[in-house]
Amino acid sequence: MVMNGLVIVLIGIVVLSAGYLLYGRWLAKKWGIAPKAKTPAYTHEDGQDYVPSSKFTVFSHQFSSIAGAGPVTGPILASVFGWVPVLLWLIIGGLFFGAVQDFGALYASVKNEGKSMGMIIEKYIGKTGRKLFMLFCWLFTLLVIAAFTDMVAGTFNGVGLDSAETAYANSAAASISMLFIVVAVIFGVIQKHVGKMNEWVKAVVAIALLVAMFAVGMKLPIYASKTAWIYIIMAYLFLASVLPMWLLMQPRDYMTTFMLLGMIIGAVVGVVVAHPSMNLNVFNGFTVGSGASKQMLFPTLFVTIACGAVSGFHSLVSSGTSSKTVSNEKDMPMIGYGAMVVESLLGIVALVVVGAVAVGGTKPEGTPFAIFSSGVAGFLEKLGVPVQVATVFMTMCVSALALTSLDSVARIGRMSFQELFYGESTDPKQMTPAQRVLTNKYFATVITLFFGYLLTLGGYSNVWPLFGSANQLLAAMVLIALAVFLKTTGRTGWTLYIPMFVMLAVTFTALVQKTIALAANIAAHNATFLVDGLQLIVALLLMILGVLVAYSCLKKLFTTTKNSEQK
């Protein structure tokens, strides 16, 4: 019997919604929410990073930042193991691992003056732990920049392709993306001068601007090579890293969220109309492939699905940018827990899409982005959407998934580099000349983007396994740090213990496997330094840092007495 894709989506919606309403709210009640407390967005308001914002504005930033390439790419790549293990991990991992971490990081940051995870680790674990964690975070952001820049540039490439239709779709999507940046700045300036806009008016304006940009972009496509787009994306990332949140990132993320939600709704409605069969095998065993391509379900499934279930990167968004814009503590469950639940649903939709176009029980040839785009475009066609419009819309959506994560991670990478060199004070007047240079936001941004660019040369397919492992290891470290915070402040933290130990086991196994594979490649003289050599160095550094941070956090967790600090 072949499972219907609609049933799988409905199961996902029901279970994820129940998890949010029951488990998410239970956590909020146990940890304690203070609706009347002044949040860091007000107490540290600076018009740059600390900007009080409405619940949906912060949700849109959180969701569009975390919903990167992962929830689409991961489930499609992991589908080689069969659709049941992928679905189970998307639901279980999303509700009990990912959403708990995202909400926990946001909660801990808001309760600690909007501090990043690194600064929270310094407060509850120590300065050495903070330095090691920030170095790990910075290295991790380089991997994200490399993987996602290569993906986006490839999606925008309109030169040297065999298909004229693909070249047009890519170039039109690129044109719309560039318009997005310009319009986001204009939208941000308007909001700043108009003041607090009615949420419905703001939403209508955003949707109208989306439609206008889509129409203009389809009429005026920008044809450029992949290399050219890499440079253009790097220039955009520089601006996103240094400009005030309200001027570029917040309005861009706000508009992008409507587009991404439109994509998810369109895909779900398409599934309802098309009733696609799940053509993937139910389960292909604990080992798939043979020889060099042999993969084991543990740990490959978990690090491949990555962001669709749990992602350390999300904690950097929660504590690095979102926490500084939350205007009321009661908004935190929807922003932290809710955004992750929606992302897990996106992962389930991606699984159903690849199941609909699967051939012989396995995913078709092509990149995950191409499979997802063509699959959902096929659903949209059945709703009466012209094929060209559907293709451009989906190309735009999948590139937006990665681009909205890219600008957030570039900003977080810049901040992580700065925090590495902060001393007792963040006041430039009290720093040494070298510190002033290293903590300068422009210098930190250039250094971060330069090393990210070097890793981009390896291509996303080479970087992705390393990114997935580092991402999950970061999640494990954040979960341990949050457990220390919760125990120290007398809150319920035992719910984090199983997730953190599972993630530690998964990630160290995956990193060891990746390191052995890279070393074997180098020993066989099948490697180049900028690809395998650089990745091997990063993998070894990540493992060493991971062990040191995990040890210091676990030691603190099991030696700290409960309620040793006031809430």
pLDDT for position 13: 95
pLDDT for position 341: 97
Average pLDDT over residues 22-39: 95
Q: What is d(CA 95, CA 74) in angstroms, rounded to the nearest whole number?
A: 17
Q: What is d(CA 88, CA 112) in angstroms, rounded to the nearest whole number?
A: 34
Q: What residues contact 285, with CB distance under 8 A and at least 6 apart? A: 81, 297
Provide the token pair at 424.
């007792």
Best mean pLDDT range from 21-30, 291-300, 427-436: 21-30
Nearest to 256 by CA among 396, 117, 382, 150: 396
Nearest to 136 by CA among 556, 478, 487: 478
| DSSP strand pairing (287-288 vs 295-296) | antiparallel
pLDDT for position 314: 94
Find out whether 366 and 144 touch, Cβ atoms under 8 Å. no
Q: What is d(CA 563, CA 549) in angstroms, rounded to the nearest whole number?
A: 23
pLDDT for position 293: 73
Residue 566 has pLDDT above 50, yes or no: no
Instruction: Count the neighbouring beta carbons within 10 Å of the beta carbon of residue 120.
Output: 24
Average pLDDT over residues 451-478: 83
Cα torsion angle, 398, 402, 403, 405, sign: positive
pLDDT confidence band for 503 (50 / 70 / 90): very high
Provide the token pair at 553.
């956090």
Q: What is d(CA 211, CA 79) in angstroms, rounded to the nearest whole number?
A: 34
pLDDT confidence band for 1 (50 / 70 / 90): low
Provide the token pair at 199.
């949420």
Find out whether 158 and 475 touch, Cβ atoms under 8 Å. no
Q: What residues contact 505, with CB distance under 8 A and at least 6 apart? A: 299
The three-point CA angle 259-261-264 to 5° equals 110
Instruction: Count the neighbouring beta carbons within 10 Å of the beta carbon of residue 559.
Output: 8
Best mean pLDDT range from 87-101, 242-256, 397-411: 87-101
Residue with tokens 């699905």: 305
Q: What is d(CA 80, CA 289) in angstroms, rounded to the nearest whole number?
A: 9
What are the pLDDT digits (tens) for 255-312? 888 888 888 888 888 888 888 889 999 999 999 887 767 889 999 999 889 888 999 9
pLDDT for position 68: 73
pLDDT confidence band for 108 (50 / 70 / 90): very high
Find out whether 58 and 331 touch, Cβ atoms under 8 Å. yes
Q: What residues contact 307, with CB distance under 8 A and at least 6 apart? A: 66, 67, 68, 69, 70, 71, 74, 313, 314, 343, 471
Residue 567 has pLDDT above 70, yes or no: no
Instruction: Count the neighbouring beta carbons within 10 Å of the beta carbon of residue 291.
Output: 5
Instruction: Count the neighbouring beta carbons within 10 Å of the beta carbon of residue 320.
Output: 28
Find the range with the poorest average confidence among 257-261, 353-357, 364-368: 364-368
Alpha helix stretches (DSSP H) within 157-198: 164-194
Find out whether 446 and 242 touch, Cβ atoms under 8 Å. no
Average pLDDT over residues 518-547: 80
Nearest to 71 by CA among 499, 504, 473, 404: 404
Residue with tokens 């009290």: 430
